[in-house]
Each structure stands twice: as structure tokens, then as C-alpha cells.
Amino acid sequence: MTIRRGEDWGEVGELGPDDPVVGTDAALSAWVHEHLADGAASGPVGLTGGDLHRTLGAPTRPEGLVPGAPLLVVECDVIELSSSDGVHHAVAHVVGTAPGPHARWAGPTFVAMNAAFVGAANLGPRAHPGDGLLDVTVGELPWRQRRAAARREATGTHVPHPALTERRARQWSPDADVSWSLMVDGVALGSHRAVSLRILPGALTVVV
């Protein structure tokens, strides 16, 4: 179910004794890719770390995710990435850089966010993993402005910026003529053409 502005999100629930538990975005997206069927992955899946976990509030549970204990259960969106190399899935983010310098914003860059964070950087200050939308920022910055943006990324105040374009959409595609170097949930996928992204609303049940 897609969250609407002003609505509560998530509910108290439990993790079953046989439900999987993962600790990173990459491990969760790999699980989703393996189990996704008809636009929805079976679940729930326990999550103990990563950028999606931080976006969900990073609840501190010294005892871990104990089966049967009261935990937070949320329906999360998933990003589906299609390219010349096939289909991949992300639970937190997809970052693309054009050929050349691979530092973020050094050349044409896009970040497509489902979670708010990429490591320490808050690249999706408006992103919500249950709102049915991609949060996309596209652009490139001169060297001096990249240094300033890097300082402001921690608080998400690098946007708005005249050189960076923001949009929120259910699906989106970057420049088709560029061979994009992709990072999907922190994992390098190499160069891909004909990249397109779409959101799969409520495709995954996560327990934190």
C-alpha cells in the first residue's frame, strides 16, 4: 500500500522464526531479485543495517530481531532497473555517472533514491521508501561547487541548486546516449546503456 501524506506508516508485528534477516542494502536487494514474482517479493525480511534501515529510523535493538518480539513492520517500494544488460533491483538507491571521472557530480550524474541516504550523504532529503515515487537528482558541478556540495550533502541541503535538477516520478530514464557507470545499493554494476528505472510500490515487507 502506498503511503499518503499525513498517514501513519508501518505497524507493530513480528518476525517469524524462519524469516530471513539481512544486514545490508545489497543483501536485501539480492534477496528481492531472487524472490520477486509478479511485481512483489514474498516476505517479511528482517533488516539490521544499511541506508534503507537508517531511513526507517535505524531502531536500536541490542538483542537483535528476536522472532516473536514486537517489531516495526513496513511495506517498502523497490526500484526496478532495466538496461542493455538485463534487469536488476535496488531497495535504497541507484547512482549513475557518465564516462570519465567517477566522482559524484564531477561529470553528468544521477541519483535515484528510494531511501534518503547514500552512506553519510543525505542525497534524497524528500525520499520516502513507501510513497510510490523515485526521488531523482541529475546534474554536474564545477570542482569548487562539488566541494561545497559535499559539505552540504550530510544535511540534504545541497539541493535545490541551479545546476542540479530534481524530480519525483514513478518511472524515469537518464540520457539514452550515455553509457552509465552504475552503483546499485553500493554494488558496482559496470557500464550500461538504455537505462530505465521504475518504482514497484509496496513490493517488499521489511521488519526492523
Handedness of CA 28, 199, 36, 183 (dihedral sign): negative
Task: Note whether 200 and 90 are within 8 A (CB).
Answer: no
> What residue ranges do the domains of the chain occupy?
11-77, 82-200
**126, three cell numbers:** 524528500
Q: What length does the chain have? A: 208
Of 1, 25, 21, give the one whose Cα is nearest residue 11. Answer: 1
- In this prediction, residue 54 carries a pLDDT of 95
The three state secondary structure string of the chain is CCCCCCCCCCEEECCCCCCCEECCHHHHHHHHHHHEECCEECCCEEECCCHHHHHCCCCCCCCCCCCCCCEEEEEEEEEEEEECCEEEEECCEEEEECCCCCCCCCCCEEEEECCCCECCECCCCCCCCCCCCEEEEEECCCHHHHHHHHHHHHHCCCCCECCEEEEEECEECCCCCCCEEEEECCEEEEEECCCEEEEEEEEEEEEC
Could you give the angle at the alpha carbon of 120 between the alpha carbons of 118 and 146, nearest 5°? 85
pLDDT averaged per 10 residues in sequence order, the chain, 208 residues: 55 91 97 80 88 93 88 95 93 92 86 96 93 96 79 77 92 94 95 95 94
Predicted local distance difference test score (pLDDT) of residue 27: 98
Looking only at the bridges linking them, the beta strands covering 187-192 and 180-184 are: antiparallel
Task: Give residue 149's pLDDT.
Answer: 73
Structure confidence at residue 43 (pLDDT)? 76
Which residues, 6 or more positions from 183, have their beta carbon under 8 angstroms from its beta carbon?
A: 94, 95, 96, 189
The pLDDT value recorded for residue 38 is 64
Residues 82-200, CATH architecture = Sandwich (2.60)
Q: Retrieve residue 18's grid coordinates.
A: 524462519
What backbone torsions phi and psi does residue 144 show, to the nearest 5 degrees?
-65, -40
